[in-house]
Chains A and B, each alone.
Chain A
Amino acid sequence: MTATLTRIKMLISLKALPAKLNVFTLFLLLTLNSILSTPLHATSEVSVETISKTSNTLAESQSANQKKQQFTIGILSQTPRKSTKGTPWQFSFDRLNSHPKFQFKALFLNSQELTKALINDRLDFVICDAINYLRLEKKYGILRLLTRAEQYSDQFVSSEGLSVHTLSNNSNITRLQDLKDKSIGVIDDRSSISWLFLEKFLFNHGLIADTNITITAISDINQSIPLLQSNTFDAIISKSGLIDKYFPQGKIDNLRLINPRRGWQAPFLHSSVLIPEWPLAKAWYVDNQIASQVVSLLLNQHNSRSNNSNAYFLPQYYWDIALNYNALNELFFFSENYDDEADTEESTLSQKVQYWISFIIICFLVLILILYLRSSRDLNNKLTLSKESLEQEIKERQHAQEQALTHQAELAHVARLSTMGEMASGLAHELNQPLSAIHTYVQGCIRRINMGNTDLDAIVGALKLTAQQADRAGGIIRRLRSFVRKGESHKTYSEINQIVNEVTGFLETQLKNKQVSLKFDLEEDLPPVLADIIQIEQVLINLLKNGIESMSNIEKPVIMVSTRRLDPKLIELCVIDSGHGISEDKLKRIFNPFFTTKTSGMGMGLSISSSIIEAHDGKLYAENNPEQGARFCLTLPITEEPIIEEQAGKDNNE
């Protein structure tokens, strides 16, 4: 009583568990069952070697069809066979081999051989009973395509069941439980019985072969009735429908079906639940297209239904679409006709076994739960630790980034000083121009005054021009000082075109000296970019200087500066020269530090320029123009000017 209650509880708890666990338990049950019931498979043991030999001979005999693509279909069978001829499979294989490109060959294998062959990838398709299929699907990922169907009168039945018959005058056996300690004959005519199904069916009624029930296979259906009548067997078990189909009505009258059930799926009575008929499954590696061709070939078999319907001696299997396997769950969790009479103090062996299995499963689940809890606690600790180390790493990275930024700014400053040094003579000349103009204007004034020429308007005009030139000189000095300003990065919202104008003013002398004509292609109304003006100027000066120097022996050198909006978020500035361009191998290295093609210079210019632009979240790249010369382009992201800052700026001004 207690045991049963526990068992029911267990079943309820199992039901409540998530679907995944359910499947897992199912699998566990299957494995255990197959271990417990190995004696049932005592029929024949063909080694894998024999199979390979068989397949070799088959291959040789079919060498004529070598051009066709070969497929092997493994068929579960307790009795070894060499060909499908004379079996109900024949018609299906004829259909399959009617395909112009495919050649199908059958291998009849018992359950272990089937598994081995699948492991060795020797099978493309498998035909076996639904229970074996479930096992193989779980382990080897085979996939069911079709379900076998048999014809009973005018109906195609794709479910199978088991029928237990006794002689109608045998009053000892009225329920399935009564089969205990009895001798049973199983009709395995043409391997029609699903042994695992039978085993499971018996197990669900507390019957275990060779323990409390004796099972003997009868290979010839004709012998079954006489053996029953001679009391060799107390009952016979057959595939449902087989006896109805084979024996004339009169003989069936002598027989009584135990536990008769009727399902909508089949026109005959049966003792067990109905489970799906044997599926045809494909191995995981078989292409879906091939599988679909096989399906279409076999499904069409219905259409070309042979005219010998209802004839047992020329039987054939048909194929139907793959069925729902819910019926199998019923088989595994509830024994059919489970009644209270089983609920006696003398619990049957099967109940004991089931109890132990349940116990093991629960222990196992508890163990898993404990392990899971422990591992999750460990995992939590690990997570906290790694979070801390990650935070530390982020801090270090931020620090390193700040340092890198400072270094970059310092380096840029050094590079600016170096650039300034290189440009010193040009700058001296630029400063010389307003200075000499000032000097000359003033001397002109002095001379006029000395000579008594007192045209004051003219003299005032000249003095105004003098003052302008002094301003010009001051501007140059101011630019110079800001350019060599200490290396601190200070980003402001700046107009890129204004930077271009400033820089080209700076380089005017240099351009003039080298006879370079400067052109502009500046897009108007560009949005401002958040940039360190000095650093961007530095990059631009560097690019322009490089461009000018690259055209030292070019006739009519031209350099162009263009700005444009590349996309809604990027501004592009290009410096395009008409020089010799850059060779491919140099193009790859020009941004490397200390790489230079010039006789003077450190080779740091482009390297530093590149790092400056990268610090502005932009990119600096070089390419050759299709026609002539090279172009250096830089991109800068457009940052919307925040209104708050503008207001703050206004406030400060106020």
Chain B
Amino acid sequence: MSNDAIVFIVDDDEAVRQSTAWLIESIGLKVTTFTCADEFLENYNNEPGCIVMDVRMPGMSGLEAQEEMKNRGMTLPLIFITGHGDVPMAVRALKRGAFDFIEKPFNDQLLLDAVQRGLKNNSEAMESLIQNESIDKRITSLTPREHEVMMRVTEGKPNKVIAHELNVSIKTVEVHRARMMEKMEATSVAQLVKTTIQARQNNILD
């Protein structure tokens, strides 16, 4: 969990906002508060962390803000707190990817657990994002021939078959393969396969 992580609290009721901040600060987390969703969206600057937000607010409601954040590609975990939540509202929020849905007045432990899980989730997501970025970098560094070789290696084809398919000598395939393994930072075919699977999952690779 990164120390830079911030818990963003968005609630129009000052008492609720300040008390929630007071509670979250008690476990040593950084907190920033906003009185409405618009204010948060304007000021958010890609910091890691998680959001604690009221569902019903004047202006943009919590659910609308969730939609907007999705449109902007924001992945911050969103924890809804609500005074009069009902099941349909909770289902709707969770279906759209809310991290948690807590009713007021909330059990402090419940909220703090949710916040911490959210932060963990966020930091993991951040990590995987960084990983993806490095895989993407490695794949893009491959020449087209090396890329072709890599695809055939991960399909489990021996060098002889690859040489035949690419209509080159086995020797040439061996050279490409060695360079490809080096660029992909893979020490074994198994590791290469793992990396490509991860790349496929994150749509880096076709």
- Is the beta-carbon distance between A435 and B61 smaller than 8 angstroms? no
- Is the beta-carbon distance between B19 and A441 smaller than 8 angstroms? yes
Interface size of B by CB at 8 A reads: 23
- Is the beta-carbon distance between B26 and A436 smaller than 8 angstroms? no
**Which one of B15, B20, B56, B84 has the greatest number of beta carbons of chain A within 10 Å?**
B15
- Is the beta-carbon distance between A436 and B106 smaller than 8 angstroms? yes
- Is the beta-carbon distance between A432 and B26 smaller than 8 angstroms? no
Q: Indicate whether A512 sits within 8 Å of B58 (C-beta atoms), given known contacts A441-B19, A447-B27.
A: yes
Q: A513 within 8 Å of B by Cβ?
A: yes
Q: A429 within 8 Å of B by Cβ?
A: yes
- Is the beta-carbon distance between B84 and A429 smaller than 8 angstroms? yes
Q: A377 within 8 Å of B by Cβ?
A: no
Annotate A426-452 by CB proximity to B: 1 below 8 A, 0 otherwise. Answer: 001100111111111101110110010
Report the Cα distance A448→B104, complex, angstroms: 21
Annotate B90-106 by CB proximity to A: 1 below 8 A, 0 otherwise. Answer: 00000000000000111
A447-B26, A469-B15 provided; 15 other pairs, C-beta below 8 A?
A429-B84, A436-B19, A436-B104, A436-B105, A437-B16, A439-B108, A440-B20, A440-B106, A443-B23, A444-B108, A445-B26, A447-B108, A465-B15, A512-B58, A515-B58
- Is the beta-carbon distance between B105 and A432 smaller than 8 angstroms? yes
Annotate B135-161 by CB proximity to A: 1 below 8 A, 0 otherwise. Answer: 000000000000000000000000000
Interface size of A by CB at 8 A reads: 31
Question: Could you list 24 A-B pairs, sorted by A, with CB under 8 Å?
Answer: A433-B15, A435-B105, A436-B104, A436-B106, A437-B19, A439-B19, A439-B105, A439-B106, A439-B108, A440-B19, A440-B23, A440-B106, A440-B108, A441-B19, A444-B26, A465-B15, A466-B19, A469-B15, A469-B19, A472-B15, A512-B12, A512-B56, A512-B58, A517-B58
* Residues of A bordering B, CB below 8 Å: 425, 428-429, 432-441, 443-445, 447-448, 451, 453, 462, 465-466, 468-469, 472, 511-513, 515, 517
* Residues of B bordering A, CB below 8 Å: 12-13, 15-16, 18-20, 22-23, 25-27, 56-59, 61, 83-84, 104-106, 108
- B-side contacts of A434, CB under 8 Å: 15
- B-side contacts of A428, CB under 8 Å: 84
- A-side contacts of B61, CB under 8 Å: 515
- A-side contacts of B104, CB under 8 Å: 432-433, 436
Of all chain B residues, the one with the shortest Cβ separation from A462 is B22
Report the Cα distance A438→B108, complex, angstroms: 12
- Is the beta-carbon distance between B58 and A437 smaller than 8 angstroms? no
- A-side contacts of B25, CB under 8 Å: 444
Report the Cα distance A425→B84, complex, angstroms: 8
- B-side contacts of A448, CB under 8 Å: 26
Of all chain B residues, the one with the shortest Cβ separation from A435 is B105
- A-side contacts of B27, CB under 8 Å: 447
Of all chain B residues, the one with the shortest Cβ separation from A430 is B83
Q: Indicate whether A451 sits within 8 Å of B106 (C-beta atoms), given known contacts A432-B83, A433-B16, A437-B15.
A: no
**Which one of B19, B105, B106 has the greatest number of beta carbons of chain A within 10 Å?**
B19
Report the Cα distance A445→B18, complex, angstroms: 13
Report the Cα distance A425→B104, complex, angstroms: 14
Q: Indicate whether A433 sits within 8 Å of B18 (C-beta atoms), given known contacts A440-B105, A444-B25, A512-B12.
A: no
B29 to chain A, nearest CB (A): 12
Of all chain B residues, the one with the shortest Cβ separation from A431 is B83
B103 to chain A, nearest CB (A): 9
- B-side contacts of A447, CB under 8 Å: 23, 26-27, 108
Report the Cα distance A438→B13, complex, angstroms: 13
**Which one of A432, A469, A517 has the greatest number of beta carbons of chain B within 10 Å?**
A432
